[in-house]
Every structure is written in structure tokens, then in C-alpha cells.
Amino acid sequence: MNLYVKTYSSIAALFCAMQQLPKLFKNKRLLMRISILAILLTLSGLLMAGTGSGQNLNKTMSLDIKNMSLKQVLRKIESHAKFSFTYKTEDIAAYTSITYQANSETVARILDDLLKPANLQYELVNDNIIIKKAPLPSFEGGVKGKVTDPTGAVIPFATVTVVGTTHGTVANAQGEFSLNNLKAGTYRLQASAVGFSPVVQNITVQNNEVAQVTFQMLEGDTRLSEVVVTALGISRSQRSLGYSTQQVKGENLTLTKEQNVIGSLAGKIAGVQVTGSSGASLGGTQKIKIRGVNSISGGDQPLIVVDGTPISNANFASSDRADYGNLGQDVNPEDIETVNVLKGPAASALYGIRGQYGVIMITTKKGKRGPKKVDVQLNSAYSIEKAANFLPLQNLYGAGSTQTWRTLANGQKFVQLDYDESWGPKMDGTPVRQVFSFFPLDPEYGKETPFVPHPNNIKDFYETGYSLNNGITVSGGNENSTFRLSYNNTNIGGVEPNTWLKRNNLGVNASLDLTPKLTVSTNINYANNSAQRPSQGSEWGARYIVQWFQRNMDMKRMKDYRYADGTIKHWNISPPAAGSSGVLTDLSALYWDNPYFDAYENFSSDSRDRFFGDVGLSYQVLPGLKLSGFVRSDMYTQNIETRIAFNGRRVPAYSSGKYQNKEMNYEFLAQYNKNWDDFSFNANLGGNIYNRRYTYVTGETQGGLSSPGFYSLSASKDRPLSNSYLLRKQIRSAYGMASFGYKNTYFVDVSLRNDNSSTLPQQNNSYWYPSLSGSFVFSELIKWNALSYGKLRLSYAQAGSDLGVYETSLNYGVGANYTMPDKSIVNSLYILDDLANANIKPSFAHSYEAGIDLKFLDNRLGVEFTYYTQKNKNQIIPLALSGTSGFASTTINAGLIENKGFEIALTATPIQSKNFSWNTIFNISRNKSQVVELGPGQSVYPLYSSTYSGVTAYINAYKGQAFGSLIGKAYQRDSATGKILLGTNNMPLYTEANHNFGSALPDVTGGFQNMFRLGKFDLGVMIDYQFGGQFFSRSKMLAMKTGMAEETAVLNDKGKNIRDPLADGGGIKVTGISAATKQEVTAYVDARSYYRTVLATHVYEEWLYGADYIKLREIRLGYTLDKAALGRLPFSKVNIALIARNPAMIWQKAPKGLDPTELSSGSQGISWLESGQSNTVRSFGANLTINF
């Protein structure tokens, strides 16, 4: 009893203490003391237990036990008969489910009944009963051995069975096992353990002899194929599933210490596409899509579930400002045991509305039941991070719009200060006055300096970043309880100045058997984030320097951006008049601020505190019948601040926002499992109430700030602009699932869920979502030695989604101030221009899926193939209304998107020997999203748009076409030849109407992972790829427009620089068809006019690039020291590894300097436009893991 009370009290104390964590993180000394105390309390409670003594073999007693382990039975006998037993834990570990009844039998008879079937015997020695293995009969033999990994480290509790029989055992904590009662002959023994590939060996047994064998097990591929976690956290046998899932082990997500679990999935699961924003390396948004686009209006991100708790993966991001990241990154990757992706509606149907777009099931690591033991692991990783993949730039011409100099009254030449471009004179060392010579406090004031290039001036702005990750876990358990505590600290210094991220993760999970039938459990996670992030986009922050800059500018000179008198050292200012003295009084920025001024004084910062987890009770009512109840929660508070300083180009300002979200799930689940003869039956029946409350309060100064350096809404010169919002939502659900099996070969699953959503009209708020699936394990009927496993599967399901809050009723907005007759001022209200639709219904998806799973050559070669088709109809989309209605639009059910595709996952172990192994996984998937229907009278639905210099690029959905068409200006072309039409000035002509360039979505995605082991060395290499898809690049467009790009200063076919005058043989060679004469023309045109005036301003076709790539995503080279190598050191295992993330782009279709995997579209559902993309960040470091 002491065990239960003390452990339960420890858990309750931890739960209460965690509510104060945000305050505790500010007092590190206090936090350390409380953490140590919490660990000690938990360990002390778990490790304390008592025993009794006494003996009388002839004493009678009664027993009635069901599904108890032999150890529990012996304890029960001890408590009734006052005996003391002595035994080896490994001798009785395999006997975990005993049902026995005795009425007034002697203890001796009871012990005989219990021990003889287990091949055990007992002996009375000095008041103790010693239990041990019975000797082998004289006519039989046995097998003894050990189970290890390739490094020699033991694998505890592995299962060893005789293939084709039910005879087997479980290895002890030291990896040792024994099998007795084997008649003379040759047997196939198989060893299996979670996380390792099964190993089969042939063993010959002789009479009266014990054969010795050692199983050396290799880590399996990234999928655990035998048991997977499915919807509602239910563990199922893979063979029984009639739909596609794919599972990844946690250790394969942390090979190179990727901090965002979404990003770590890239390329590792067929049918799953991960795209990152350009701020991804510093906690920016990583998006994930499963089987393409399923919603016209966006928002088709899958649901994330952690240990049964659904959590938010919302992102706080903007395509032209800071990217604050997606909330899925709050999950600590070091805590993850497995990630299982439920891809289609059949797999996720039990999540109803919330699971329409798939579910990512995350299972975290737990303590282990068994002998009392505490495991400690320390993990530390450090990486340096470097900006890479820069656009190639020219180093021949500097600042200006023409290649001529301006001159002051004293004859000094000076740079064209008012141009933020590089179409100026050659950088040949000519002495000229450059921009800093006009600042009175600058050492160069009034002086001429050589006009020379600074080839690395863009690279010089970036710093060497770093990532430091430290973590500790303590886990353990006994026969009745488990626990695991983890703490992880992450510090990242960004590659852009004054950018950083700090994160603390604390995880606690525990379970306790209050009685043999009643278990209490909890999983609690806390994440604390704070960051200063780089701005994104071409209009904000320091990202403009690759688009608008001067190749003669020395970036290092701008780092100390403020002179002693407070003047900012800007690089583009209003110039002096030609022939003047050159004295300037206005030194303010003309177009752009100093990038260091932006970095250190114009920035955004954010912080977030988040709790998510659950508390649950489960009760084993009868054998096979269990009732469970959970309270699950996800709560976060996000604070965002943005400041704009004095002395810059923009009006000083300050804004802040506080965003709070609270989601509660109250869940009940009844589970029933029954096996008889050749039949199996599993049923689950449950219900859930989901409540969400989301609020925000934002404020923004107006008219500037009252004083420099004071950032507060109270510093607003005019009345600050404020806004607030409240969202409340509830979904009430009931669901059930039944699975039928026959001969472990034929399986049928049926499920049904009903959702009642508060956001839908009352008459349309209740909907049913059914699923039906089946599997046929035909390898049970086909006896072919090469075929280890074969399964056919088929499924059908329906899923749906609701709409946002307040969309079915009339809504009002706050308008301008109104003066009342009594002269008081109030805010006016107005009706919003969206007409509510009180008859809206949920959208629906109908999905069909078929597949085959094959494994050959003792599971060394595996193939999983899936074909699917899904129709997403009754989409909830806006429809434009006539102005005479008084409204601009309304929301309707319309539209149909059809997705078709296939997925293939290949696994292989080409080489497997004692000292060397090679495991590989190859994923490939193809998806096509087709817009079949839109709203009444609609042929196009606008998705996103972006305008620059009066010319707009779009991405739209067109009826009858692939989803996500890119739209923009194109070249005019001759209808007969397809060649570009040229105007009277021989410049290319462009279309007045926009052109459809096709879909932005990729055709094929996948990944290729290889794991090698040589002795104690291990090597992991991860490659992901994409073929098809396209995007517009505004960075490339502007680098060409401003004369920065390398292509603007190359030699033409005459050997002359294209910037040379046409009369001297310069210019760009153009060929095409004259629009006037229809004759073919070859001519040379002025380079600046060609790029700056024509192409860069109007022709988006020129800046359209393929998104195809093959990327080396991860590399890890490790070495393991086992206990034998560590000698007397207190470590059980040590692993040292070199790691690299994003080390190289093997191939890409787009030009160098553009990374199609990290497009800057953090706020948008599709990556289609690159605009001020941060450079790719490459990371190289080391990782140390120590196990005690």
C-alpha cells in the first residue's frame, strides 16, 4: 500500500508544481532545487516496497486469481501464508498471465500446480522457499544464449521463440535466456525486440546437452511494422489494418537534432510533403501536407495527437514580416518514441471533423515495468550554422544608374548616392567620394577612396550561428508503476545579427496500478519559448540587401551603425547637387535603412508558454474489458512585440499582441478484446467533448512615438489602435469501432463517428462519418519460402470539416467615432459585408484506398504499395454577391477537389552480417489534385496574390484544371513558331492579359534513407527529393532589375560586356519575331533597359522556376562505446556522433541561390512565391549521448 500512496502523492505534487513553471524558469536556482526534489520524491515512492516471511507447507489456503503474473501470485501467497520466496527474476519473467483457482488446498499442492507447468521447482531451505528452474529430463536438451546489438550491448527482455511453435521465452535484463524441454533435432529460433529487426538462426540440439547461441540484432528500419498506434491511441497489429499508415522511430527523427518534429519528417514517409519557410532554422514555420491539397480555401493541415491528446499546430506567421513558427515545434523531439502517420480518412475517421486531413500520432517515451531500475540518459549536441546558397552577384559595376560620374565644385567625383542599384561605373579603383565621406563624424569625411568591389558584402552581413541542445531523462518503474522525467534546453543563435531562440521543455509521464485492476496515468508537457527572429520578405528588415544594394558597399563599415552624435550611418541618402560644395544637412535614409540598424533596433520578439497533456484512469472490469477516462488539455499564451525605432526610414512605432488558447477534451473509451478458437474480436466505444476558447488583444501606436527608446502603447502620439477577439467552440462526439479477425489471416474493421459542432447551424450540426476496411494476409495460405509476409488491404471512409466561428450569423464591425447629441463620442457599428448563411453544411470527403504489403527473404526486402482516390466535396467557400444585395459575399457549400495518387515504400537490408549491416528505405509518392467544380457560375477561385510595381502575380484554382495555377504576365509569342515577339525597339513584348503557367504543386515527392553499421560505427544518410511544381522568384527578379545579379555583367557572343555601349559591341543579343513585319529578328539591345524596364517589371514568365530538387538533408556518423570498452566508468553506453543538417543541395532545377524547400510563404498554405527568402542554413556539429 505504501508504494501506491507515495507514488500517487509524488505525481500529484509534480502536477501542481508544473502550473507555476513560467515563474520558476525565471529563478534558475529555485528551479534546480525543485527539479531535484521532484525526482527524488518520485524515485523514493517508486522504489519502496516491503516483504513478509513465515512458512508452513501443509497450511491450507484459497486462491482466485485472473491474468496475474507469477511474481504477483507469489506475493499473494506470501501475504496469506506468511512465506518468503527467493528466486531469480529472469526465471519467472516469462509467466505474465496466470489464471488459477484453489479452494482450501495446501500450499504444497498450490505450488506444485503453479510451478510444474512453468518447468520450475521449489526447495525449502532455512525458512525460505527457493524457486529455480527444473533440470532437463534426461532425454531432452535445451538452448541457452544471449541477445545483443552489433556493438555487444545487451538487449534486455527480447522475445526468443521456436519458429512454428508456441514454445518461447523472454530474455532477462542482461539479455540472457534459456529454452528447455527441446527434443534432439534442428530448430529455427527467432529473436525479436522492439526497434530491432527479427533475427532467425538454425540451432541443433542434442539429448542431455544445452546448446549455446548468441543473437546479434540489428536496428530495424524507421518503421515498427508489428504494432502501430492508431486513432484514439489504440495499439493495433499492423497485419490487421486495412488502410495505410507509416511509422517512424523517434531516434530517426533526432539523428541530426532537428528541433521541429514536423521538419524532421521530411522525406521519411511516403505521401507526406514537408515545406519550410525561410525562417525554419530559427523556429520558423514548417508545413506538412498529406496526399496533396484537399481544401480550396486552405487550412488542410493534419491533426497532431500526442499520447492521445490533440494539440494545436497553428502558425503565427506573415509572408512579409517575422515568422513566429508553427506550434507543433513545442513537442520535444527527444521525448518521442514513435510517430505514426494516419494518411487517409479510413485511418483517421475516428477523429471525425478534426481528422479529415490526416493525423500525426506521436507516442512519447515511457518508463518500463519490470525489476526495479532507474535509467538515466544525458544528451548534448552543439552545431555551428552558416548561411549558404547565395545568389551569384557581379563584381564589375557599382552604385548608380549610368556609368558616368558626378562632380563637386572642387573637382571631386562622387558616387550616385540616391541610387540603390548597381548599374553605375566600373569598379576599377577610381578615387571617388563614397557615401560615408559625407558624414561629418566619419574618418573618410571629405576624402576620396578607391571605387572597388566588395565581393562578399552580402555574406559579410551574416554571422556564424550556433545551436546548443542539452537534455536529461530519468526513467524507471517496477511491477506496478512507471515514470519518466525529461528536461531539454535549446539555445540557438541565428545567422542574422541579433536573432536568437531559447526553448525549455519539461516532460513528465507516469502510471501507477492503484489496484491490480485500476491504473492512473498522466502525461504532462511544458514548453517555454522566447525568440527574436529575422524579418521575412523584400519590403522589411535586412532581406532587401540581395535585391537592392550596391556592389561597392563595404558591409563591415556599416556594422557600427550609429555615430557619436546619434546619426545613423545609412548607405543611401539624398546626394549633393553637382558642382556644389558637397556639404549635406539631410543624412536620413532615402530608400533603405542600414541593415544593422534594422537588425538591432527594428525587430520583432515573441514568447510562448504552453502546457499540454492528460490525466487518465483505466479499469479492467473483466478479462478483455477495460474502461478508460481522460481529461486532456492544450493551453498556450503567445506574446508578440514589434518595434520600429527613431532615425529610420519608417515612422517610429510599437505594437503588441497577447494570444491565448485553451483546448479541453473530456474523453471516455470502453475497449473489449476477445479471442476464441480461430476468431478474434475487438471493439471500442467512446465519446468526447471538445471545448476551445481562444482570445487575443492587440494594440498598435498611431502617429509615431513620444520619445526615442520608449516602446509602449502609452507612448503613442495619437490614440493607439486596439483590437480584441473571442472565439468559443464545442464539438460533441460519439464513436465506435469493431474489428473482426479469423485465423489471424482475415480482418474486417468498421467504425462510425458522430460529430455535433457548435459552428454549424443547429439544423445541420450533426453528421456521421463511417469507415470500412479489410485486410487479407495471404502469406498464411501461400507456402513460398521466399515470401515472408503478404497482405492485401482495402478501405472506404467518409470525413468532413466544419467552418469558423460566427460565420452563420450576422456580424458587426466597429466603425468611426460618432458624436451624440449630448456631445459625447461613441464608436459606431456597421454590418460586415459578408452575408451569413444559416444553411451551411460540413464539407465531405469520400475516400477509397487499396494496397498490398509484401516482405521477402526473412523480411529483408519489403514493399508497400497504396493507391487512393479522394473526393472532397461541399467545400465551404465564399461566393461574390451583386452590390445590389448590400453584401460583398456569402459562404456556400460548393466545389469539388479530387485527389488521386499512389505511394510506394521500399525497405531492404541488402547486407546483414555480424560486423556490417546496411538498411535502406526508399519512399516515393505521386499525387494529382484536380479542381472538378467550383461555386455556381465560378470558373476561377483566387487563392493568393502579390503585387510589385503595379504588376500582380496570382495563384488560383481553375475549374477543370490542376489545383494551384500560377498566373502572371508572359511573353507574347508567334503563333506559328512559338518564338518571342519583339517590338519596334527590339525589346520583348509581353501579354496584357495574365497567362496560366500551370500548377505550383509537385508531381512526385519522396525520400531515400540509408543506415550503415560497421562494428561500433554507424552512418546515417537522408536524402529527400521532389519533381514537378514551380514558383515565382522575386529576389531573382529584383537582383536582375538592380544590376546586382551575375547575369547582368557577362560577356555577349562578341566577347564584349553586355553593359558596354551598343556602338562598342555591347548589349544583349535577342532573337525573335518582329511583331510589325512577322520576320525573324536578331538584334542587340541595351542591357539596363532590357532587365530593368521590361523583364523585371512586367514579365513574370522570366522569373518562373521549376521546384524540382534532390537534397542531402541529414548525415550522421557515430561511434558507440559499450560497457566493456568503458571499463569502470559508471556508464552503460556512450555514443559520439558527427552530425550535419542541410549539408548540400545535390541538384535543383531553379538557379543557385534559390531553395525550393524553404520558400518564404509562412502564412500561406502553398509555397508558390519566393520574396526575400532567407538563405539556406547549413549546420555541422557533434552529439554526445551517455547512458547510465
Tens-digit pLDDT profile for residues 671-699: 999 888 889 999 999 999 999 999 999 99
In this prediction, residue 435 carries a pLDDT of 97
Give the mean pLDDT of the chain. 87
E strands within 343-390? 359-364, 373-388
Residue 961 cell numbers, joined: 484544371
Which of 795, 797, 740 is CA-nearest to residue 771? 797
In this prediction, residue 1009 carries a pLDDT of 96
Comparison of pLDDT for 781 and 479, the residue scoring more: 781
Secondary structure of residue 164 in the 3-state scheme: coil
- The pTM score is 0.81
Mean pLDDT of 757-765: 88
In this prediction, residue 542 carries a pLDDT of 64
Whether the Cβ atoms of residue 563 and residue 569 lie closer than 8 Å to each other: yes
**Model confidence band, residue 34 (pLDDT cutoffs 50, 70, 90):** very low
What's the distance, CA 713 to chain centroid?
A: 35
206-211: long-range contacts (C-beta < 8 A, 24 or more apart)? 206/141, 207/138, 207/139, 207/140, 207/141, 207/183, 208/136, 208/138, 208/139, 208/140, 208/141, 209/141, 210/136, 210/141, 210/142, 210/143, 210/144, 210/178, 211/141, 211/142, 211/143, 211/144
Comparison of pLDDT for 51 and 998, the residue scoring more: 998
Indicate the range of 222-236, 416-430, 572-586, 1064-1078 predicted with least confidence: 222-236
Whether the Cβ atoms of residue 269 and residue 1127 lie closer than 8 Å to each other: no
Quick one: what percent of the chain has pLDDT higher than 90?
Answer: 58
In this prediction, residue 544 carries a pLDDT of 84
- Classified by CATH at the fold level, domain 141-216 comes out as Immunoglobulin-like (2.60.40)
Domain boundaries, the chain: 2-47, 60-133, 141-216, 236-366
Comparison of pLDDT for 219 and 1010, the residue scoring more: 1010
> What's 1094's DSSP letter?
I
Quick one: what percent of the chain has pLDDT higher than 70?
Answer: 91
> What's 1086's DSSP letter?
-
**Model confidence band, residue 465 (pLDDT cutoffs 50, 70, 90):** very high
Secondary structure of residue 788 in the 3-state scheme: strand
320: pLDDT strictly greater than 50: no
| HEC assignment per residue over 20-57 | CHHHHCCCHHHHHHHHHHHHHHHHHHHHCCCCCCCCCC
Distance CA 79, CA 51 (A): 8
> Do 60-133 and 141-216 show the same overall fold?
no
pLDDT in tens, 1039-1056: 999 999 999 999 999 999
Q: Answer yes or no: CATH 3.55.50.30 is held by domain 60-133.
A: yes
Q: What angle do CA 994, 998, 1004 make, to 5 degrees?
A: 160
**Level-2 CATH architecture, domain 236-366:** Beta Complex (2.170)
Which of 311, 427, 432, 333 is CA-nearest to residue 381? 333
Which of 682, 698, 533 is CA-nearest to residue 603? 533
